[in-house]
Structure formats: C-alpha cells, structure tokens
C-alpha cells in the first residue's frame, strides 16, 4: 500500500466485524505451541504481526497450519519442548511478539536470535531482559538493549518474584511465560492492573495462576511452574483496539450509527469505551457474553455531541494503544481534553506522543505536548486538515489520521498506509463499505 488519502465521510452506517484481537491471537499461538496435543483457533487475526509470530513458532518446532475454513491448528511441543531455530527470527514490526517470545525461549536450553524492521530494531528491550536475567537467561544485544538480540537459555532456571517498575502487560507476560519452564512459583507484582489476557489464557490451557489484589490498587500474580498444558479450542474476540477506529469515526461523523460485532470488552482493555462515554459518546453494549474466559459484546455506536474531559492517568494501562485515536476525537470535542500519564507512548512503534502532537498541529488543531501528557483544545465545528502525515511505520498513527480526515475540511494524507496491515488487514475496504471516503495511492 502507498499513500492513503482520507476525505470528509458520508454518514457511517452498517453492521461490521473488525479483525480478531491481536493480543489474544499472539498468546493463543504461543501457548498452543507449548501445550500437549492440538489447539484449534477460530477468528485469529491474520495481520502481519501475528503471522510473524506463527512463523517464529514454526521455526521453534511447533506445527501450525491454516485451514481453508479460516481455522488455525497448532500442534504443541509441551512446556520446555521447543527446539533451537535454524535461522534468525524476523518479528517484523511486532513489539508484543518479540517481547513475549523472548520470555518463552529464555528458559529453554538453546540460543535464539531476534530481529525486526527499522522501527522494532530501534525500540528498547532492556525492561524485558532485566527480569529474565534474574531467571538465568543471557543476552547479547546492540547498544541500548536494542535488536538484534540473542537469547541464551539457562541450564539453571530460577523462579523469581519480580516487582514491575512500570505497568506493562508485555513485561508481566514475558516473565510468566518464562516461568512456565521454571520449577516452583514465579511471581509478578504490578503497580497497576494491566491487561490480563496471559493469565486468562494460561488458566484456559490448565496452568495454575493466582491473582491477588494489592494495597494501592496493584496485582500480585503467581504462576506454578512446569505444568502440563493441554491443547484447547479458542475463539478470538474482535479486537477492541481495532474497533476503536470505526467507533471513534461513528461518534464524530454526523448521522452515523454502526454496530460492531463480537468485540472483546475485557475490563482491563476497555478504558477507551469508558472515556468516550464520559465525553458524551453514545455507546451501548448488546448481547454481552463470554468466550474462553474473555468477555465480549456487540457495540452500538451513534454520532454524538462530545465534550472535553481530563482522562485519569491511572486509566492509561487499560487503553494505552487507543490514545492516538482518542486524541483525534478530542480534536472534534467541545473544550479541552487533557491526557496525562502517557510516557509509555514514547516507546511504541513510534514516539506516538510526538507523532500525534505534530500531526494534529499540522492539521490546524491546538495541541500541547509535555514529556508525559497531551492536551487537545477541540473545535467541534471545523478541523482544517490538509496535511500530509508521516506514519513512521506505525499502524495506529496511520489509522488515527485516516479518521481525522473523515471530519476535516480538506483531505488528510498519510504518507504510507502499509503499516495498517500489521493489525487491521482490510481496513480501507471495510471503512469505505460503511461510508468513509479513503483512497489509496
């Protein structure tokens, strides 16, 4: 895909299903690969990030295949049963994949080398390596703890109790996955609750995982190591992080009403919905239910008059990937929206805090950026648009500004739409099918 041009949209009306949840998709393949027997996965996200995970796990010895029906099958090797890959594992743009896989292989007795694209190779990995070193793993990396990185598993695997210095589901998950092959109990203490897909899915496969509330609002998660995981059937819910883009667009484009089916509404992921409702967004839940430990629902979203709010900083872990599109919604809201506690956005696929501030300003939006916050002064009557936005190899930046173009006076151009395929294959076609006017090329 080349440049993407987004123009003022017609009312967005329809009944849609966005792709499967990326976080659940990654974990279903990883845990299926270290389970005994066969795991069947329906609704797997077939974006580039998840396909990179599948390729890496095949190189590590798992058997992974896609059927004509769209169902995926994983034949696992059991806990501790992965094998040394014959080649470097290229994880493309996926920070989640490389960080979780580093945990999974760090307690296996062989060496694994990871690399990625220019964006991934610039991202810091020291926060993952620090606890894994305590468990016995050794690392060779570029300066600053950057990829390519070689992980050497230890002969002497140690369970640890590790207190996270920051709220990070990726670090937590890496330690828990490493703990699968360690004797005894591995414990992670997090300062704030983060998405708990790993804990839910570990239990689904048969692991003993205990979560305890901590004073101050954090969580203590303890995994009993060396379980025998058993292959399971998994239905992947639609990704709330992908649903965020049509949801935001429907709230802003006059006359819109969309129904988004089968969306995962895990309470540790649903902070954006709460925030948009506080801003006046009309979002209702229909047909609430559960699948394999993950709650989901159909979302009905209607165009709404929106107003600015201050988003609590402690909500950030439950919506960290959704701040780019929230900033776009804030640009269309009446008044000021203040978003503190966003330092984590600087170490995503791009420096998302800086990228959003630059792009919004270029489109005529009054925005203020600090080291860990973004403040947007909205204008519900008119956004100028007209800018060309550098996507910076970041799918969420590209999609966020495509949404801005739907409510701008003049078209918004994104210089490179290719990164969108990492998480939302078919995005342009789906959005145009309900009333957007997005052109490629």
Correct CATH for 4-20+237-440 of 3.40.190.10, 3.40.50.1580, 3.40.50.300, 3.65.10.10: 3.65.10.10
The single residue of 21, 117, 298, 321 carrying the catalytic annotation is 321
* Per-residue confidence (pLDDT) for residue 382, from 0 to 100: 85
Per-residue pLDDT band for 1 (boundaries 50, 70, 90) equals low
What number does CATH give the domain 22-225? 3.65.10.10
Structure tokens that stand for 6 in this block? 């987004």
Among 28-37, 341-350, 413-422, the minimum mean pLDDT is found in 341-350
Rounded to an integer, the average pLDDT of 326-334 is 98
**Domains of the chain by residue range:** 4-20+237-440, 22-225
The pLDDT tens digits for 139-178 are 999 999 999 999 999 888 999 999 999 989 999 999 999 9
Q: Find the radius of gyration of the CA atoms of the chain.
A: 21
Q: By the 8 A CB rule, do 49 and 92 touch?
A: yes
Q: Taking all residues of the chain, what is their mean pLDDT, rounded to a whole number?
A: 96
- Please report, rounded to a whole number, the percentage of residues in the chain having pLDDT higher than 90: 93
- Two tokens, residue 404: 């801005």
Angstrom CA distances, 226 to 81, 223, 249, stand at 11, 9, 46
**pLDDT at 292 > cutoff 80:** no
- Catalytic residue at 117? no
Looking at residue 17, what is its pLDDT? 97
| Sign of the torsion angle spanned by Cα atoms 362, 365, 367, 373 | negative
Q: How far apart are CA 286 and CA 298, in angstroms?
A: 5
Report the DSSP beta bridge partners of residue 335: 378
| CA torsion angle 32 35 39 41 (round to 10) | -20
Amino acid 124: pLDDT: 86
Domains 4-20+237-440 and 22-225 share a fold: yes
- pLDDT for 441: 83
Taking only the tens place, the pLDDT of each residue in 225-242 is 999 999 999 999 999 999
Residue range 242-276, pLDDT digits in tens: 999 999 999 999 999 999 999 999 999 999 999 99
Say what the pLDDT of residue 348 is: 83
pLDDT at 139: 98
Q: How far, in Å, CA of 441 to CA of 432, rounded? A: 15
Find where tokens 């203040």 sit. Answer: 338
Structure tokens at 129: 């390596």
Q: Give the mean model confidence (pLDDT) for residues 91-118.
A: 96
| Per-residue CA distances from 319 to 272, 305, 345, 399 (Å) | 6, 22, 11, 16
Q: Where residue 194 falls among pLDDT bands split at 50, 70, 90?
A: very high
Look at residue 360 in the predicted model and tell me its pLDDT: 98
pLDDT in tens, 52-64: 999 999 999 999 9
pLDDT at 155: 80
Closest by CA to 52, choosing from 98, 103, 100, 91, is 91
Q: How confident is the model at residue 216 (pLDDT cuts 50, 70, 90)?
A: confident
Q: What pLDDT was estimated at residue 217?
A: 87
pLDDT of residue 419: 93
């Amino acid at each position: 895909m080349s440049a993407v041009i987004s123009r003022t949209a017609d009312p967005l009306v329809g009944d849609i299903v966005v792709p499967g949840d990326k976080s659940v998709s990654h974990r279903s393949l990883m845990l299926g690969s270290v389970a005994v027997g066969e795991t069947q996965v329906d609704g797997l996200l077939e974006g580039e990030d998840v396909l990179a995970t599948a390729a890496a796990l095949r190189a590590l010895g798992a058997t992974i295949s896609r059927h004509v029906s769209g169902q995926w099958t994983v034949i696992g090797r059991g806990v501790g049963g992965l094998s040394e890959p014959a080649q470097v594992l290229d994880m493309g743009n996926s920070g989640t994949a490389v960080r979780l896989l580093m945990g999974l292989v760090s307690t296996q007795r062989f060496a694994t080398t990871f690399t990625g694209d220019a964006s991934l190779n610039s991202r810091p990995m020291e926060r993952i390596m620090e606890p894994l070193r305590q468990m016995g793993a050794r690392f060779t990396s570029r300066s600053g703890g950057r990829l390519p990185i070689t992980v050497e598993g230890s002969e002497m695997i140690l369970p640890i109790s590790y207190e996270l210095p920051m709220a990070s589901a990726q670090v937590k998950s890496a330690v828990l996955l490493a703990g699968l092959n360690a004797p005894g109990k591995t414990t992670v203490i997090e300062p704030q609750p983060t998405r708990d897909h790993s804990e839910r899915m570990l239990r689904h496969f048969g692991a003993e995982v205990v979560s305890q509330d901590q004073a101050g609002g954090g969580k203590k998660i303890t995994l009993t190591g060396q379980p025998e995981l058993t292959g399971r059937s998994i239905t992947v819910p639609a990704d709330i992080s992908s649903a965020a883009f049509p949801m935001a667009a429907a709230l802003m484009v006059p006359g819109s009403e969309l129904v988004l089916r089968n969306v995962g509404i895990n309470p540790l992921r649903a902070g954006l919905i709460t925030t948009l409702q506080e801003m006046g967004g009309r979002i209702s839940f229909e047909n609430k239910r559960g699948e394999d430990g993950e709650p989901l629902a159909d979302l009905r979203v209607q165009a709404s008059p929106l107003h600015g709010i201050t988003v609590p900083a402690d909500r950030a872990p439950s919506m960290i990937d959704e701040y780019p599109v929230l900033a776009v919604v804030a640009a269309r809201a009446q008044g000021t929206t203040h978003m503190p506690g966003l330092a984590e956005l600087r170490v995503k696929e791009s420096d998302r805090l800086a990228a959003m501030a630059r792009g919004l300003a270029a489109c005529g939006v009054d925005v203020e950026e600090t080291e860990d916050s973004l403040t947007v002064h909205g204008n519900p009557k008119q956004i100028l648009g007209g800018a060309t936005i550098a996507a910076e190899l970041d799918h969420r930046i590209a999609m966020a500004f495509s949404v801005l173009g739907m409510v701008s006076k003049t078209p918004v151009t994104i210089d490179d739409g290719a990164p969108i395929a990492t998480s939302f294959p078919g995005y342009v076609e789906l959005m145009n099918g309900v009333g957007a006017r997005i052109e490629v090329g």
